[in-house]
């Protein structure tokens, strides 16, 4: 096996030159780029970068959606020994300042006019950023900025450089070593500045190979690359494993066409965070609620059978002949067409990670015959730490440690990991590196959990977030906010939740409704509303959400360890939590501290016994404008159940 990503590329180009490597949908038509064509493009770009002054050890920022030429740019940089740094394409310009200055980046490859504008905007704050190349020229014809050029111009310059230095590319490629830095990924930074996670070719390739062996991946897989390239999860599935296995990566035309493109491609290997699976299911349920009574009856009957029989069939467990026949009929009438509607008809392996997935959601997909499993990992571990084997997929675990991984628990329950995929370190941050990497090679994950009797890892929460209830009937009880929030988000009507309770006598929560799901629910009840803020404060919506909260409370009461985490009071926020407003990370993780500071008046109202609280909040709109949203938020009490459950 080749030892660097560019060498993997050239190996595929030599062995199967005419096989498709990448596809991109342009103007409604899928265009393929073969391994031979990709290798030639990478070589041109590498020569162009060298002519522009990019050298071994330099950093190259890459910003945009998944595009073949952006992937080629990363490979070209790696061929020279330079280090690509993908950043989130939906971030505002100010969020780029720290990473670009921290890594002293002078070169950028971006997708389109939107990203060019961001780079030009921050030039005063990043004076070393001299050269910007763009992929899509639309809207840029009249730009005359110094150092701004198209990737076509870069390739043309590369062809000229190749004529004058024909041996240059091969020499640079040969100089690359497995231990060289391959890429740097900036963490989403729930607190403070993001940290640059440094990974080598060896760490990324090793984990990509281990994951491929675990699920028997081959060059025949089809993958849809639709998540942010700056997220290491997307990078592993659509870059590292792509180059290890040689399968085809498909790039959607745009974010708005992903669902259509998903159906057209029919991926065999699929990855999505729980929110994507939730959105797919919500869209199905909304459509079924609008269907005829006969169709709703048939769907309900078939899904009841699927929930009872489907998971057992997926896990290879014995199922009676009659049930098998009924399931086969249901597959013809409902399950097969539904898988096709979802775009998952050809999926052989599907993974979800990032947050806990609801048991009902998990079993729904497996009951349809979709091999949905969970994995556990992080940016610092090159993703693959634990994976669920086929026939051992469960909603309450994240799988078993895979090849090369060791796990042990610290005294406080924190998960420690040893793996060939661990980060080399945090860039220019030795103190932070020393905090997470021990002298004998163990990585502090920051997650609290335990290994169950079947050898599967269970995650409770972030170790730093696990707290204690102080005072009241549950004094000293464990409080695991993320665990509670995930239980709330299992309901289709709840999109986000933030729970508070550490050091307090009870738990209270902020809730964001799912505007589409609750909006559809309201329309079917002839309940008028004028936008999110108005809908969120309807008494009927509060009753709907109260019912969800109390179901969570009843479930928590069954666990003696977590019974004290039941939610006593809640309110529905007047706006959706948003990364642009500093409330979520770019990977949609809650910035708990920032939210607590921003909405301190609401927390005080929840714990002060108030029944409403006025608030006005500054917001940023999608078009860049600023404004404010205000409302008088209702606060309601919920039923608390006596602890009747098992001890942990």
pLDDT (mean) for 617-629? 78
For 31-62, how does the pLDDT look when each residue is reduced to its tens digit (9 = 90+)?
Answer: 999 999 999 999 999 999 999 999 999 999 99
Instruction: Compute CA distances 391 → 323, 366, 370, 394, 406, whole Å.
Output: 19, 11, 12, 9, 22
Q: How does residue 82 score in pLDDT terms, banded at 50, 70 and 90?
A: very high
Q: Is the pLDDT of residue 286 over 90?
A: no
pLDDT (mean) for 308-312? 90
Query: What are the beta bridge partners of residue 23?
Result: 32, 250
pLDDT (mean) for 436-458? 90
Query: How far apart (Å, rounded) are the C-alpha atoms in residues 373 and 399?
Result: 8
For 483-528, how does the pLDDT look when each residue is reduced to its tens digit (9 = 90+)?
Answer: 899 889 888 899 999 999 999 999 999 999 999 989 999 998 999 9
Radius of gyration, CA atoms only, the chain: 25
Q: CA torsion, points 260, 265, 266, 271, in degrees to nearest 10? A: -80
To which residue do tokens 């609008």 refer? 290
Query: How far apart (Å, rounded) are the C-alpha atoms in residues 644 and 246?
Result: 53
Q: How many CB atoms lie within 10 A of CB 316?
A: 10
Q: Is the pLDDT of residue 309 over 50?
A: yes
CA atoms within 13 A on the CB side of 183: 31
Instruction: Give percent of the chain with pLDDT exceeding 90.
Output: 71
Sign, CA torsion 100/106/112/116: positive
At 622 the pLDDT is: 66
Average pLDDT, the chain: 92
At 539 the pLDDT is: 95
Tokens of 221: 């897989």
Q: How does residue 283 score in pLDDT terms, banded at 50, 70 and 90?
A: confident
CA atoms within 13 A on the CB side of 110: 26
Tokens of 391: 């026939």
Q: Is 137 exposed, middle or buried (0-12, 13-18, 19+ CB in 10 A)?
A: middle
Q: Please choose, from the candidates 31, 100, 36, 17, the residue with its C-alpha nearest in 3D space to the C-alpha of residue 67.
A: 31
Q: Is the pLDDT of residue 589 over 70?
A: yes
Domains of the chain are 5-254 (3.40.50.12780), 274-416+444-462 (no CATH), 467-637 (3.30.300.30)
Q: How does residue 189 score in pLDDT terms, banded at 50, 70 and 90?
A: low
Query: How far apart (Å, rounded) are the C-alpha atoms in residues 505 and 484?
Result: 16
Q: Is the pLDDT of residue 645 over 60?
A: no
Q: Is the pLDDT of residue 325 over 60?
A: yes
Comparing 585 with 302, the larger pLDDT belongs to 302
Q: Is the pLDDT of residue 329 over 50?
A: yes
**What sections of 28-134 are H helices per DSSP?**
35-52, 68-79, 94-102, 113-121
Comparing 190 with 276, the larger pLDDT belongs to 276
Query: How far apart (Å, rounded) are the C-alpha atoms in residues 82 and 360?
Result: 46
Q: Please choose, from the candidates 65, 115, 110, the residue with its C-alpha nearest in 3D space to the C-alpha of residue 250.
A: 65
Q: Is the pLDDT of residue 191 over 70?
A: no
Query: What are the beta bridge partners of residue 510?
Result: 498, 571
At 624 the pLDDT is: 66
At 190 the pLDDT is: 54
Q: Is 6 exposed, middle or buried (0-12, 13-18, 19+ CB in 10 A)?
A: buried
Q: How does residue 648 score in pLDDT terms, banded at 50, 70 and 90?
A: very low
pLDDT (mean) for 183-191? 79
Query: How far apart (Å, rounded) are the C-alpha atoms in residues 45 and 41?
Result: 6
Question: Hey, is 375 helix, strand or coil?
Answer: strand
Q: Is the pLDDT of residue 282 over 90?
A: no
CA angle 224, 107, 163 (to 5 degrees): 90
Query: How far apart (Å, rounded) are the C-alpha atoms in residues 87 and 110?
Result: 10
Query: How far apart (Å, rounded) are the C-alpha atoms in residues 320 and 317?
Result: 10
At 54 the pLDDT is: 97
CA atoms within 13 A on the CB side of 89: 21
Q: Which of 341-345, 452-456, 475-479, 542-546 has the highest mean pLDDT?
A: 542-546
Question: Hey, is 505 helix, strand or coil?
Answer: coil
At 360 the pLDDT is: 77
Q: How does residue 647 score in pLDDT terms, banded at 50, 70 and 90?
A: very low
338-347, 348-357, 568-577: the lowest-pLDDT one: 348-357
One-character DSSP codes across 635-647? -EE---PPP-SB-
Q: Is the pLDDT of residue 628 over 80?
A: yes
Query: How far apart (Å, rounded) are the C-alpha atoms in residues 165 and 46?
Result: 12
Q: Is the pLDDT of residue 559 over 80?
A: no
pTM of the model: 0.82
Instruction: Give percent of the chain with pLDDT exceeding 70.
Output: 98
Instruction: Compute CA distances 32 → 36, 237, 241, whole Å.
Output: 11, 19, 19
For 471-493, how does the pLDDT look when each residue is reduced to its tens digit (9 = 90+)?
Answer: 877 788 888 888 899 889 888 89
Residue pair 70/41 in contact by the 8 Å Cβ criterion: no
At 285 the pLDDT is: 79
Q: Is the pLDDT of residue 616 over 70?
A: yes
Question: Hey, is 609 helix, strand or coil?
Answer: coil
Q: How does residue 644 score in pLDDT terms, banded at 50, 70 and 90?
A: low
108-122, 417-431, 581-595: the lowest-pLDDT one: 581-595
Residue pair 280/352 in contact by the 8 Å Cβ criterion: no
**What sections of 321-477 are H helices per DSSP?**
321-330, 336-342, 359-367, 430-436
Q: How does residue 274 score in pLDDT terms, banded at 50, 70 and 90?
A: confident
289-298, 532-541, 600-609: the lowest-pLDDT one: 289-298
Nearby residues of 351 by Cβ (< 8 Å), 6 or more positions away: 270, 271, 272, 372, 373, 374, 375, 387
Residue pair 254/220 in contact by the 8 Å Cβ criterion: no
């Amino acid at each position: 096996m080749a030892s660097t990503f560019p060498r993997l590329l050239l190996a595929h180009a030599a062995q199967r030159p005419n096989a498709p490597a990448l596809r991109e949908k342009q103007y409604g038509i899928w265009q393929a780029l073969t391994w031979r064509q990709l290798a030639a493009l990478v070589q041109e770009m590498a020569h162009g970068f060298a002519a522009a002054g990019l050298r071994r050890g330099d950093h190259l920022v890459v910003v945009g959606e998944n595009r073949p030429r952006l992937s080629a740019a990363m490979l070209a940089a790696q061929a020279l020994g330079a280090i690509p740094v993908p950043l989130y394409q939906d971030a505002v310009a100010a969020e780029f300042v720290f990473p670009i200055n921290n890594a002293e980046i002078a070169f950028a490859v971006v997708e389109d006019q939107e990203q060019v504008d961001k780079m030009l905007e921050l030039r005063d704050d990043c004076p070393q950023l001299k050269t910007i190349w763009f992929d899509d020229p639309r809207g840029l014809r009249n730009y005359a900025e110094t150092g701004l050029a198209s990737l076509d111009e870069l390739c043309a310059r590369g062809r000229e450089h190749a004529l004058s230095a024909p041996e240059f590319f091969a020499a640079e490629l040969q100089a690359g070593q497995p231990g060289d830095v391959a890429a740097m990924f900036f963490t989403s930074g729930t607190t403070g500045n993001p940290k640059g996670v440094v990974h080598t070719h060896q760490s990324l390739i090793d984990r990509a190979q281990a994951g491929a062996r675990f699920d028997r991946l081959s060059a025949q897989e089809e993958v849809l690359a639709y998540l942010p390239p700056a997220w290491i999860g997307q990078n592993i599935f659509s870059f590292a494993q792509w180059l290890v296995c040689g399968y085809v990566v498909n790039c959607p035309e745009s974010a708005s066409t992903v669902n259509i493109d998903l159906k057209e491609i029919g991926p065999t290997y699929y990855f999505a965070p729980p929110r994507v699976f939730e959105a797919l299911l919500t869209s199905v349920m909304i459509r079924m609620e609008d269907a005829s009574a006969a169709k709703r009856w048939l769907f309900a009957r078939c899904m009841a059978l699927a929930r009872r029989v489907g998971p057992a069939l997926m896990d290879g467990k014995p199922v009676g002949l009659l049930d098998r026949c009924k399931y086969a009929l249901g597959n013809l009438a409902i399950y097969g067409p539904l898988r096709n509607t979802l775009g998952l008809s050809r999926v052989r392996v599907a993974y979800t990670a990032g947050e806990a997935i609801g048991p009902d959601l998990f079993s729904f997909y497996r009951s349809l015959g979709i091999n949905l499993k969970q994995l556990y990992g992080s940016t610092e571990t090159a993703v693959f730490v634990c994976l669920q084997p086929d026939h051992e997929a469960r909603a309450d675990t994240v799988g078993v440690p895979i090849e090369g991984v060791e796990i042990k628990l610290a005294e406080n329950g924190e998960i420690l990991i040893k793996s060939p995929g661990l980060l080399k370190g945090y860039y220019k941050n030795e103190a932070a590196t020393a905090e997470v990497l021990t002298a004998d090679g163990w990585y502090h994950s920051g997650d609290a959990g335990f290994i169950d009797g079947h050898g599967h890892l269970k995650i409770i929460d972030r170790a730093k977030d696990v707290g204690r209830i102080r005072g009241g009937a549950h004094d000293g009880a464990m409080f695991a906010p993320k665990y509670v929030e995930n239980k709330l988000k299992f309901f289709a009507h709840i999109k986000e939740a933030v729970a508070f309770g550490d050091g307090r006598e009870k738990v209270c929560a902020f809730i964001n409704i799912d505007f589409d799901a609750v909006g559809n629910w309201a329309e079917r009840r002839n309940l008028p509303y004028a936008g999110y803020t108005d809908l969120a404060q309807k008494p009927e919506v509060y009753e709907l959400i109260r019912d969800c909260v109390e179901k969570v409370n009843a479930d928590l009461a069954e666990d003696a360890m977590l019974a004290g985490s039941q939610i006593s009071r809640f309110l529905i926020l007047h706006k959706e939590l948003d990364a642009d407003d500093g409330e979520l990370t770019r990977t949609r993780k809650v910035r708990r501290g920032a939210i607590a500071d921003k909405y301190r008046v609401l927390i005080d109202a929840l714990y002060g016994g108030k029944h409403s609280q006025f608030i006005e909040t500054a917001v940023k709109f999608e078009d860049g404008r600023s404004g404010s949203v205000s409302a008088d938020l209702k606060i309601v009490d919920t039923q608390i159940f006596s602890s009747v459950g098992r001890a942990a």
